[in-house]
């Protein structure tokens, strides 16, 4: 660029649309938001590197369970601002056996109001979360993906509701998905 060009910049365009959202934007409150489950999320980080986060079902680090990780974009009704985040559901293959499912159902039938499920609490929570994911996907049951996990393709592009709360690993600096559901929460406002 010549010195002549630098001296004659002309009209300065409106750059307000380029400015990154910063501390002046409204913080994300704890609560329910509508969101969409994505197969993957791509973006360029602050160092200029392209980042890709994929949804999928993979073995856990310990190898004794599996992790369903879903890439989610939630939108705030107040200003239409989007937040990229992820939801995770951990399960053990034995949680999905007929024996475990029947044991959970039987214990629920036998337990009175407020009674604990004891050693079946973890499988109960896993089955509850997987049932919600199936309802979001609109399928009766997930199929296997050929790699030992569940095929999650039926979830991609589906809308659902996600409850955000402080991520304890970050001292509340970031939000994480605490719960999800396929239908509109009845007792809570959608933020």
Residues 142, 151 contacting (CB under 8 angstroms): yes
pLDDT in tens, 153-176: 999 999 999 999 999 998 888 899
Give the pLDDT confidence score for residue 111 in this predicted structure: 78
Residues 95, 127 contacting (CB under 8 angstroms): yes
Phi, psi values for residue 108, rounded to 5°:
-65, -40
Considering the entire predicted model, what is its pTM? 0.80
pLDDT in tens, 109-148: 887 766 788 889 999 999 999 999 999 999 999 999 988 8
Q: Measuring CA to CA, which residue among 31, 35, 21, 25 is closest to residue 175?
A: 31
The encoded tokens of residue 69 equal 């990780």
Q: Exposure string (b/e) for 145-177, b if CB count within 10 Å is 16 or more?
A: eeeebbbbebbeebebbbbbeeeeeeeeeebbb
Residues 123, 104 contacting (CB under 8 angstroms): yes
Banded pLDDT at 10 (limits 50, 70, 90) = low
**Rounded CA gap, 163 and 37, in Å?**
14
pLDDT in tens, 47-73: 889 999 999 999 999 999 999 999 999
The pLDDT of residue 2 is above 60: no
């Amino acid at each position: 660029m010549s010195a002549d060009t630098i001296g004659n910049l002309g009209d300065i365009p409106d750059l307000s649309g380029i400015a990154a959202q910063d501390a002046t934007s409204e913080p994300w409150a704890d609560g329910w938001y509508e969101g969409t489950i994505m197969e993957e999320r791509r973006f360029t980080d602050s160092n200029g590197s392209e980042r890709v986060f994929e949804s999928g079902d993979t073995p856990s680090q310990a190898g004794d369970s599996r992790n369903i990780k879903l890439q989610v974009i939630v939108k705030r009704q107040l200003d239409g601002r989007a937040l990229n985040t992820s939801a995770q559901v951990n399960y053990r293959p034995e949680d999905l056996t007929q024996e475990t499912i029947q044991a959970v159902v039987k214990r629920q039938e036998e337990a009175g109001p407020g009674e604990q499920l004891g050693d079946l609490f973890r499988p109960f929570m896993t089955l509850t979360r997987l049932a919600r994911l199936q309802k979001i996907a609109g399928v009766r049951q997930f199929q296997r993906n050929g790699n030992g996990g569940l095929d999650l393709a039926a979830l991609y592009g589906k809308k659902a509701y996600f409850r955000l709360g402080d991520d304890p690993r970050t001292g509340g600096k970031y939000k994480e998905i605490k719960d999800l559901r396929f239908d509109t929460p009845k007792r809570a406002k959608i933020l």
